[in-house]
Amino acid sequence: MSVLEVRDLTIALPRGGDRGEAASRVSFSVERGEIVCLVGESGSGKSVIAQGVMGLLPKGLPVTGGAILLEGEDLTHATQRRLRELRCTRMSMVFQEPMTALNPVMGCGDQLDEVLREHTRLARAERRRKILDTVREVRLPEPERMVASYPHQLSGGQRQRIMIAMALLLEPALLIADEPTTALDVTTQAQILKLILDLQARRGMGVLFITHDFGVVAEVAHRVAVLRLGELVEFGAKDEVLKRPRHDYTRMLIGSVPTLKPHARPAAAGAPVVLATRGLCKTYRDRGWLAKRREVSAAVDVTLEVRKGQTLGIVGESGSGKSTVARCIVRLIDPSAGEVLLNGVDIAALRAAALRPLRRNIQIVFQDPYRSLNPRRTVLEAIIEGPLNYGVARAAAVERARKLMELVRMDPESLGRYPHQFSGGQRQRICIARALAMEPELLIADEAVSALDVSVQAQVLALLEEIRERLHLAMLFITHDLRVAAQVCDHVAVMSQGRVVEYGPAAQVFGAPRHEYTRALFEAAPGRDFAFGAA
Partner 1 sequence: MDLQALSVESANIARQDSAWQRLRGNWSVRVGGYALLLMVLVAFAAPLLGTVDPSLFDAASRDLRPGQSGEIMTLDGELLKHKFVMGSDSFGRDIYSRVIYGTRVSLLVGICAALLALAFGVVFGLCAGTLRWLDGPLMRVMDGLMAIPAILLAIALVAMWRASVLTVVLAIAITEIPRVTRLVRSLVLSIREEPYVEAAISLGSPTWKIMFGHILPNCIAPLLVQGTYICASAILVEAILSFLGVGLPPDIPTWGNIMAEGRVQFMTYPHNLFFPGVFLAVTVLAVNMLGDGLRDTLDPKMAKRV
Nearest residue (CB) to partner 1, 17 versus 511: 17
Nearest residue (CB) to partner 1, 317 versus 453: 453
* Sign of torsion over alpha carbons 506, 510, 513, 516: positive
Asked if residue 225 lies in contact with residue 38, where contact means CB atoms within 8 angstroms, the answer is: yes
**Segment interacting with partner 1 (CB under 8 A) among 26-34, 40-48, 173-181, 198-206:** 40-48
Instruction: State the nearest-atom distance from the C-beta of 355 to partner 1, in Å.
Output: 9
Q: How far apart are CA 227 and CA 27, in angstroms?
A: 11
Taking CA atoms, 37 is separated from 130, 152, 526, in Å, by 30, 30, 14
Q: What x-and-dash track marks residues 380-409 binding partner 1 by CB under 8 A?
A: --x--xx--xx-------------------
**Segment interacting with partner 1 (CB under 8 A) among 198-206, 280-288, 362-370, 498-506:** 362-370
Instruction: State the nearest-atom distance from the C-beta of 242 to partner 1, in Å.
Output: 17
How far separated are the first and last CA of the chain, in Å rounded?
Answer: 36
State which H helix or E strand residue 352 sits in.
helix 352-359
* Sign of torsion over alpha carbons 375, 378, 379, 382: negative
**Residues in 43-102 that interact with partner 1 by CB under 8 A:** 43-44
Among 2, 182, 303, 455, binds partner 1 (CB under 8 A): 455
Q: How far apart are CA 451 and CA 457, in angstroms?
A: 8
Could you say whether residue 274 binds partner 1 (CB under 8 A)?
no
Could you say whether residue 2 binds partner 1 (CB under 8 A)?
no
Among 363, 479, 487, 496, binds partner 1 (CB under 8 A): 363
Q: How far apart are CA 510 and CA 184, in angstroms?
A: 22
Could you say whether residue 252 binds partner 1 (CB under 8 A)?
yes
Instruction: State the nearest-atom distance from the C-beta of 389 to partner 1, in Å.
Output: 5
Instruction: State the nearest-atom distance from the C-beta of 385 to partner 1, in Å.
Output: 6
Among 259, 378, 459, 497, binds partner 1 (CB under 8 A): 459
Instruction: State the nearest-atom distance from the C-beta of 196 to partner 1, in Å.
Output: 28
State which H helix or E strand residue 121 sits in.
none
Sheet holding 273-286, edge to edge: 294-307, 273-286, 337-342, 345-346
Site size for partner 1 (CB under 8 A): 55
Nearest residue (CB) to partner 1, 246 versus 356: 356
Q: What x-and-dash track marks residues 427-446 binding partner 1 by CB under 8 A?
A: ----x--x---x--------
Asked if residue 479 lies in contact with residue 525, where contact means CB atoms within 8 angstroms, the answer is: no
Could you say whether residue 451 binds partner 1 (CB under 8 A)?
no
State whether residue 29 is helix, strand or coil: strand
Instruction: State the nearest-atom distance from the C-beta of 135 to partner 1, in Å.
Output: 34
- Please spell the DSSP secondary structure of 409-477, one letter per residue: T--GGGGGS-GGGS-HHHHHHHHHHHHHTT--SEEEEESTTTTS-HHHHHHHHHHHHHHHHHHT-EEEE
Could you say whether residue 259 binds partner 1 (CB under 8 A)?
no
Instruction: State the nearest-atom distance from the C-beta of 38 to partner 1, in Å.
Output: 16
Could you say whether residue 42 binds partner 1 (CB under 8 A)?
yes
Among 246, 377, 403, 472, binds partner 1 (CB under 8 A): 377
Asked if residue 372 lies in contact with residue 365, where contact means CB atoms within 8 angstroms, the answer is: yes
State which H helix or E strand residue 338 sits in.
strand 337-342
Could you say whether residue 368 binds partner 1 (CB under 8 A)?
yes
404 backbone dihedrals φ, ψ, rounded to 5°: -65, -40
Closest CA to 525 of 505, 503, 510, 506: 510
Three-state secondary structure along 272-311? CEEEEEEEEEEEEEECCCCCCCEEEEEEEEEEEEEECCCE
Among 249, 477, 510, 530, binds partner 1 (CB under 8 A): 249
**Segment interacting with partner 1 (CB under 8 A) among 58-66, 180-188, 342-350, 365-373:** 365-373
Among 210, 298, 364, 525, binds partner 1 (CB under 8 A): 364
Asked if residue 96 lies in contact with residue 183, where contact means CB atoms within 8 angstroms, the answer is: yes
Could you say whether residue 366 binds partner 1 (CB under 8 A)?
yes
Nearest residue (CB) to partner 1, 75 versus 384: 384
Instruction: State the nearest-atom distance from the C-beta of 535 to partner 1, in Å.
Output: 8
Q: How far apart are CA 170 and CA 118, in angstroms?
A: 11
Closest CA to 415 of 456, 384, 372, 443: 384
- Site residues (CB under 8 A) for partner 1? 16-19, 41-44, 228-229, 248-249, 251-252, 255-256, 330, 332, 356, 359-360, 362-364, 366-368, 371-377, 382, 385-386, 389-390, 420-426, 431, 434, 438, 453, 455-456, 458-459, 535
